[in-house]
Amino acid sequence: MEKYYRQTIGLPVISHSRQPLTRVRDVIIDTDKGKIVGFFVMGGSNHVVAPIDILEWNSVIMINDQEDIIEPDEVHTIREALKKDATIFKKRVYTKSGDYLGKVLDFGMNSQLYELTVIIVSKAFLSLFFWDKKIISSKDIIRIKPDRIIVKDLVQTVPMEKFQVDMASP
């Protein structure tokens, strides 16, 4: 099932016994592989939940208990992803030949395979006015760098008007 970044941020993290524990603060991505390696959760310091500990990801993220909320250094893949710039949201997107396509407004993730599926890109003015919205498959991403995402020159984009996506409001 496909989930979107904007739908995931703020999701409750609950225990198997349905006790509320915290909320999702951000998604951690291994930008070399396009894999979701963890979720930052709200709290006093940087705590994360690793995908291996997630029992359910739908309208909530369910884990066994509080013990599944850990420090980022405890999981090698999370630690390595954080050494790079593991963010995608609001990154600039360019084609291989240097054409600017816009910034990432949202991105889709497969909630069972924990991988990036699409990025939703748009040009903007003052982050208030958006135009030229496109959906780009993760298969068309060449590289995710700290300052930009580079996609294939002949990328097949889908205009937003032709694609129904249940995106949460900004």
Establish if 169 belongs to a structural domain. no
Establish if 34 belongs to a structural domain. yes
DSSP structural state of residue 161: G
One domain, residues 133 and 154: yes
- Whether residue 16 contacts residue 63, with contact meaning beta carbons closer than 8 Å, is answered with yes
Instruction: Give strand pairing partners of 154.
Output: none
Residue 71 phi, psi dihedral angles, 5° rounding: -80, 145
CA distance 107 to 113: 15
Q: Which of 20, 49, 83 is the last residue of a domain?
A: 83
One domain, residues 156 and 114: yes
Return the higher-pLDDT residue of 148 and 170.
148
User: What is the pLDDT at residue 125?
Assistant: 64
Q: Which of 83, 104, 132 is the last residue of a domain?
A: 83
One domain, residues 116 and 75: no
Residue 97 pLDDT > 50, yes or no?
yes
Residues 100-134 have pLDDT tens digits of 898 998 999 999 999 999 998 887 766 656 667 78
Establish if 167 belongs to a structural domain. no
* Model confidence, pTM: 0.81
- Whether residue 28 contacts residue 82, with contact meaning beta carbons closer than 8 Å, is answered with yes
For residue 133, the domain's CATH number is 2.30.30.240
Return the half-sphere exposure (C-beta side, CA atoms, 13 A cut-off) of residue 94.
11
- Mean pLDDT of all residues in the chain? 85
One domain, residues 14 and 66: yes
Residue 70 pLDDT > 80, yes or no?
yes
- Give the Å distances, CA to CA, from 126 to 24, 103, 107, 123, 130: 27, 12, 20, 10, 9
